[in-house]
Chains A and B, each alone.
Chain A
Amino acid sequence: MRLNGTLNWHSPEGLVRSVAAKVGQGARFCALFASPEAAGTRLLALLSHSGTLVPEATMVPEGAGGFPTLTAATPAAAWYERRVKDLFGLEPRGHPRPDPLVLPRRPGSAPPRPGWGQPVSALPPDDPGAAPPAACPGQATGPLELDLSPLPAHVQGEGVFTLPYGPVRSGVVESVEYLIETPGERVPHVRARTFYKHRGMQARFPGLSLADGALLAERYEGVASVAHAIAYCSALESIAGCQPPPAAGLVRVLHAELERVANHLSSLLAHTEAAAQAVAAARVATHKERLQRLRAELCGNRFGRGVVVPGGVSGPPLAGAKSLLGPLTRLQAGIRADLELLMATPSFVDRLRRTGVIAPSLARERAALGPVGRASGQAGDLRSDHPYAAYASLRPPASPTRTAGDALARQQVRQEEMESAFDLARQALEGLEELGPTPVGGWRAGLGAVTGEALGWAEAPQGELFYLVDAVQGRVRQAQARSASFHNLALFATAFPDDIFTDFAFIEASFGVSIAGVAG
């Protein structure tokens, strides 16, 4: 969706009113993007209103120091505003709890304002003699100052203690710290500190060629490389006003759906391990490895990297329907059979049932996304709501919803999504077979030296993914991603009201977020 000329501009107060009014009329709060500009910081709130995406913007002038919070009226904005505070130094005035989330700056120190020029670093310089990069207005000019001391506990009372879990945790997992504030077995409060993995991705995009931007997008949230590349590239294609050729759309669907299955298997694997179902875990791990190998057969990379490029795809798949349909069908049958047995194993199902419940009303208020949202009654799937790639030409994906809102419902949703993903992948393979080795329109369209700003999207395995990309003369001026992992992890703390500590691993597995996608 091209943005130039379509933004609804407001004053900072006007933005709060407009967003609250639209949310009151049933709109869903999708995201809040922040971009550094010469005049100040542009905040762009994205809403989904009666099936249309509505961008609402304000410019917070340089020196204003803050902006009135959206969170009081729109709770789903809470994490976004904490991010804006960390990275842009703007105080969301009236925010209930603006603690550091992605960058724990020392209070009062200058922010990095990523996305415009290269900010100074919080790291020791590689070359101590080098001159620091030129700062943009309001940007830190001395080294970034971080404060990594523990946060004060929010739960107070006799016998309440804070248990830090992380950032280095047991097992081979991503680094994140959960502060578990508990008076014993019950878990009244869990807070996620995600800044350990903050890589400053928004600062890395400016100046890249369009093709290099796609490679970087693939590494934003590496387990959803394909979705990220699709969302980033479709933003560029909107700017250029071009459509990728039909064959490229099918290749994108093929890779995106296999990526979905891989992620859902990863979530299932974490569940089976948490439940100590050793044989089931071994079976799921084998399915996942076979799938990764099939993905590599298609493109030489186990994560589908290098396939999606601006304007289309890098070329035809390295393997076709003839060699892949058989293994895919066998894999699907194997997964289905194991899931049937697993979902009939009481010692497994009982651990998931009524664990980590998110009530549909809360899921609605916080606009929960992807399988987490769908398990709590929130329909919505970009593949059918705003079709991209070749989705419009295929049988629509099944986006099942449940209302139980527990880990079991999330697992059931993922199970059905896997079936539908296999079906879509098969349709894409058959479609490619029909188009033949030299399809009409080829594999990619030329974009030229594009200039403009647009929003691109994809339904990642974790849920709705957006890229906001601004390009000048065929180079990236600014780009930023909003992963469903970021949006959904904000709900994690609410999933614990009745659960004992031992349910933690199940709730985490059922959220299926990637911390890289949260920290940015």
Chain B
Amino acid sequence: MPWLTRGLREGIVTTRYPHRPDGYGASFAGHVVCEPGALGAEAEAAAAACPTGAIEVGRTGARLDQGRCVLCGRCCQVAPRWFRLRPGFETAALSREALVVPESAADRRAIAQAREELRQRVRALRRSVHLRHVDAGSDGSEEWEIAALTGPIYDVQRLGIFFTASPRHADVLLVTGVGTAAMRGPLRLTYEAMPAPKAVVAVGTDAISGGLAGGTYASGTGVASVVPVDVLVPGSPPSPFSVLHGILLAVGLVGERQREQLPGKSRSEEVAG
């Protein structure tokens, strides 16, 4: 009996996201953004300071790849004029291109296509969603953030989201980690065991690009070469709210955030060149 009363003592601690905004989530430094037209010595210095090579300075301005960013904040210190930490947790995206900011016109088309393709596929899932998680070489922190979702504060069960042990009952695969040599096989098998329609969410910068730990003889550069990734949740690690945003995005329950855009005509090739 004492446990029952203790459970009641706290009252409601659960967030109301996504039906209402969440104060805590909104104050979280969610991702780093780059102003359009970031050029000059400062922008170059920021690119040189980035530990993961996430910033590339092109002819019309720098672009920042949030899929490689580990949120160390160095660029924001070196070039506060161009780079800043933007609060908010709705950081997940529907394509690799969408994580490179500012967004270019060519990327916009690719993103729209990815969004439509996923929308068609996951239409059947909306009522209740079963998740399976696979660790493909994480540093261990992403697992904490995903597991937090089942606790009372996030309580994803209220949204019809459940974790399942069997891939055969899973609709959405959450993958963490760089994609190590030895996990490629088990990850692929888990994905194949899931019935269609299914969606894959890459959780964390490591799973998207390999992050800091990627690129050795045994660690990969993300999991997209093993399983087809639909939703990418950047962060090192991403907060539970960001992971939740990624899951809701995968099943079409929320949209992406508005992105900073490059002027209409520019193309990603030009910028990269």
Interface residues of A (CB under 8 A from B): 103-104, 112, 114, 118-124, 126, 140, 144, 146, 148, 167-168, 170-175, 195-201, 203-204, 211-212, 215-216, 219-223, 225, 266, 277, 279-280, 282-283, 285-286, 288-289, 292-293, 296, 300-303, 305-306, 338, 341, 345, 514-517
Q: How far in angstroms is the closest Cβ of chain B from A259?
A: 11
| A198-B182 CB under 8 A given contacts A223-B141, A338-B6, A515-B140 | yes
B13 & A123 in contact (Cβ 8 Å cutoff): no
Whether a CB of chain A sits under 8 angstroms from the CB of B135 is yes
Q: How far in angstroms is the closest Cβ of chain B from A86?
A: 10
Residues of A within 8 A of B7 (CB): 279, 282-283
Instruction: State the 4 A-B residue pairs at the shortest beta-carbon distance, nearest first.
Output: A222-B139, A285-B151, A222-B141, A170-B165
Residues of A within 8 A of B182 (CB): 104, 146, 148, 167, 195-198
| A306-B10 CB under 8 A given contacts A173-B135, A215-B212 | no
Q: How far in angstroms is the closest Cβ of chain A from B26?
A: 13
B217 & A175 in contact (Cβ 8 Å cutoff): no
Task: Closest A residue to B206 by CB, please name it.
Answer: A219
CB-contact partner of B237 in A120, A212, A303, under 8 A: A303
| A121-B140 CB under 8 A given contacts A198-B182, A277-B3, A285-B148 | no
Residues of B within 8 A of A517 (CB): 140
A277 to B163, CA, bound (A): 18
Task: Closest B residue to A111 by CB, please name it.
Answer: B217
Which among A168, A296, A303 has the greatest number of chain B C-beta atoms within 10 A?
A168
CB-contact partner of A222 in B140, B151, B154, B187, under 8 A: B140
Residues of A within 8 A of B180 (CB): 196-199
CB-contact partner of B216 in A148, A203, A300, under 8 A: A203
A341 & B2 in contact (Cβ 8 Å cutoff): yes
A118 & B3 in contact (Cβ 8 Å cutoff): no
Counting contact residues on chain B (CB < 8 A from A), the size range is 35 or more
B218 & A144 in contact (Cβ 8 Å cutoff): yes
Query: Interface-forming stretch among B60-68, B112-120, B219-227, B245-253?
Result: B219-227
A279 to B6, CA, bound (A): 8
Task: Closest B residue to A170 by CB, please name it.
Answer: B165
Whether a CB of chain A sits under 8 angstroms from the CB of B138 is yes
Main secondary structure of the interface of A (DSSP, over half): loop
A124 to B217, CA, bound (A): 10
Which among A225, A303, A517 has the greatest number of chain B C-beta atoms within 10 A?
A303
Task: Closest A residue to B147 by CB, please name it.
Answer: A172
Whether a CB of chain A sits under 8 angstroms from the CB of B136 is yes
Which among B140, B150, B163 has the greatest number of chain A C-beta atoms within 10 A?
B140
Which among A121, A174, A219, A285 has the greatest number of chain B C-beta atoms within 10 A?
A219
B183 & A175 in contact (Cβ 8 Å cutoff): yes
Task: Closest B residue to A266 by CB, please name it.
Answer: B144
B218 & A121 in contact (Cβ 8 Å cutoff): yes
Residues of A within 8 A of B137 (CB): 175, 196-199
Residues of B within 8 A of A172 (CB): 133, 143, 146-147, 150, 163
B143 & A174 in contact (Cβ 8 Å cutoff): yes
A279 & B3 in contact (Cβ 8 Å cutoff): yes
Whether a CB of chain A sits under 8 angstroms from the CB of B263 is no
A305 to B142, CA, bound (A): 14
Interface string of B122-159 (1 = CB under 8 A from A): 00000000000111111111111111101111100000
| A219-B213 CB under 8 A given contacts A174-B135, A266-B144, A341-B2 | yes
A123 & B24 in contact (Cβ 8 Å cutoff): no
CB-contact partner of B151 in A103, A140, A175, A286, under 8 A: A286
A124 to B221, CA, bound (A): 10
Residues of B within 8 A of A167 (CB): 182-183, 186
Interface positions, chain B 159-187, Cβ under 8 Å from A, are 163, 165, 177-187
B218 & A103 in contact (Cβ 8 Å cutoff): yes
Interface positions, chain B 17-51, Cβ under 8 Å from A, are 24, 28-29, 51
CB-contact partner of A148 in B148, B151, B177, B185, under 8 A: B185
Q: List 24 A-B contacts (CB under 8 A).
A: A121-B181, A122-B181, A124-B225, A167-B182, A168-B189, A170-B165, A172-B163, A173-B143, A174-B135, A174-B140, A175-B186, A196-B182, A197-B177, A199-B213, A200-B218, A204-B216, A216-B213, A219-B213, A266-B144, A279-B4, A289-B154, A306-B71, A514-B140, A515-B140
A197 & B217 in contact (Cβ 8 Å cutoff): no
A121 to B216, CA, bound (A): 7
A174 & B138 in contact (Cβ 8 Å cutoff): yes
Residues of B within 8 A of A277 (CB): 3
Which among A211, A305, A516 has the greatest number of chain B C-beta atoms within 10 A?
A516
A285 to B237, CA, bound (A): 18
Residues of B within 8 A of A222 (CB): 138-142, 237
A148 to B189, CA, bound (A): 14
A200 to B145, CA, bound (A): 24
Whether a CB of chain A sits under 8 angstroms from the CB of B58 is no
A219 to B212, CA, bound (A): 8
CB-contact partner of A203 in B85, B150, B217, under 8 A: B217
B148 & A341 in contact (Cβ 8 Å cutoff): no
Residues of B within 8 A of A197 (CB): 135, 137-138, 177, 180, 182-183
